[in-house]
Homo-oligomer: A and B are copies of this chain.
């Protein structure tokens, strides 16, 4: 019972793309519901990357031989695909090793460029992943800016009220850095409202969870920066991208220094290359970038709008079915802003035990823990009606999942509850 977005035939092709889905885990067909941590990898993307590495690879730019020329063309084509995917210009797209790297780069570069100074305020939310939290709070020590929070209610939800409260409390934040979607509560954030509310702030969107299943148009959102990772949208690990408005990138000091990003270097000083090369120091992850390009090709070949609707349908079903279990406590909003993943707890059973039994007895992969959002756990604890274990179980879907997968999860949870009784 796959999503209605796919014909049987289309879905059959999808399944063939992800060989691990045909694998057995502990004697059961694998039910992979850990997509929010990282998605499976596709045959098409990986085999195109293999072909690139084995038949066309060399280092890029700055060389006139044939292989270098082929590799450079592939690399720059991948950049164009990413740019088109988010409606940006090629020069505005910098390849990074992922979301975490992108945010760390921005914090340091904003400071080095004087765009974020001692005494300035950075506003983030209480639901941020550590990637968009720890760099800010730790570097605030060294650089003297302040970090303030948009507060979540005790279901872990960010409301327009809480955004307005933050606005009235925090005087003109210099930077607002916000996740597009929470990896714990599944909430898709009201980015448009945040943009409107903080017109003068530099807006950074952490797109890690959102971009795999929802079209992000940086121009329409009027976002200043966007960062994301490829591995959550079937690309390999180690590759991601940072988008920045051209005018801001021009002013921004680089984060990493080295080869390729320079214009002229003497023993005393250095001037930088043009955009986007200025931000790509050293040998790039050429194979990774090329693979991210192929990934976009693949997702677009399925129809990205179909992926989006498939996730909406599965998310709704997941939330509905989980809600029917009276021993399950669910976190996050209870409407259609809750997408692609659900965090929950079984009253009286530790999340680790839940995940372990689901894996052992049902072949279901879920994640349990604090999901790199420790401070949010203390918020959820306040709203919890059970003995909150400081962590949750999380089930997350992608386009190769089915309603049947969710049915198996539900069955599994009933069994766990009986077992630990």
Residues on A close to B: CB < 8 A? 18-20, 23, 25-26, 30, 32, 34, 37-38, 40-41, 43, 46-47, 50, 53-59, 62-68, 97-101, 103-104, 108, 112, 126, 129-131, 133-135, 137-139, 142, 149, 229, 231, 236-239, 254-262, 264-270, 281-288, 352, 355-356, 358-359, 363-369, 372, 374-375, 378
A54 touches B41 (CB 8 A): yes
CA of A142 to CA of B109, assembled, Å:
12
A40 touches B57 (CB 8 A): yes
Q: List 8 A-B contacts (CB under 8 A).
A: A37-B58, A65-B355, A100-B259, A104-B257, A112-B142, A130-B257, A236-B287, A259-B372
User: Closest chain B residue to A239 by CB distance?
Assistant: B238
Choose among B23, B281, B374 the residue that contacts A262 (Cβ–Cβ < 8 A): B374
B134 touches A258 (CB 8 A): yes
B237 touches A281 (CB 8 A): no
Choose among B20, B288, B378 the residue that contacts A54 (Cβ–Cβ < 8 A): B20
A262 touches B359 (CB 8 A): no
Assess A258 versus B54: contact at CB under 8 Å? Given A63-B369, A64-B368, A238-B287: no
B268 touches A137 (CB 8 A): yes
B97 touches A20 (CB 8 A): no
- Closest beta carbon of chain B to A269's beta carbon, Å: 7
Choose among B257, B267, B375 the residue that contacts A267 (Cβ–Cβ < 8 A): B375
CA of A58 to CA of B365, assembled, Å:
10
10 tightest A-B contacts by CB? A100-B282, A238-B285, A259-B372, A100-B258, A38-B59, A65-B365, A37-B59, A134-B257, A131-B258, A41-B53
- Closest beta carbon of chain B to A104's beta carbon, Å: 5
Additional A-B contacts beyond A62-B367, A100-B257 (14; CB < 8 A): A20-B54, A32-B58, A34-B67, A38-B283, A41-B57, A68-B365, A104-B258, A112-B142, A129-B258, A130-B262, A237-B288, A238-B238, A265-B375, A266-B374
Residues of B within 8 A of A97 (CB): 97, 101, 238, 285
Residues of B within 8 A of A18 (CB): 54
A257 touches B138 (CB 8 A): yes
CA of A198 to CA of B370, assembled, Å:
46
A258 touches B149 (CB 8 A): no
- Closest beta carbon of chain B to A124's beta carbon, Å: 10
Residues of B within 8 A of A284 (CB): 237-238
B43 touches A54 (CB 8 A): yes
Choose among B38, B130, B262 the residue that contacts A258 (Cβ–Cβ < 8 A): B130
Residues of B within 8 A of A268 (CB): 137
B285 touches A374 (CB 8 A): no
Residues of B within 8 A of A283 (CB): 38, 98, 100, 229, 231, 237
CA of A100 to CA of B372, assembled, Å:
27
User: Closest chain B residue to A17 by CB distance?
Assistant: B54
CA of A369 to CA of B265, assembled, Å:
14
**Best-buried of A99, A133, A265, A288 by chain B (most CB within 10 Å):** A265
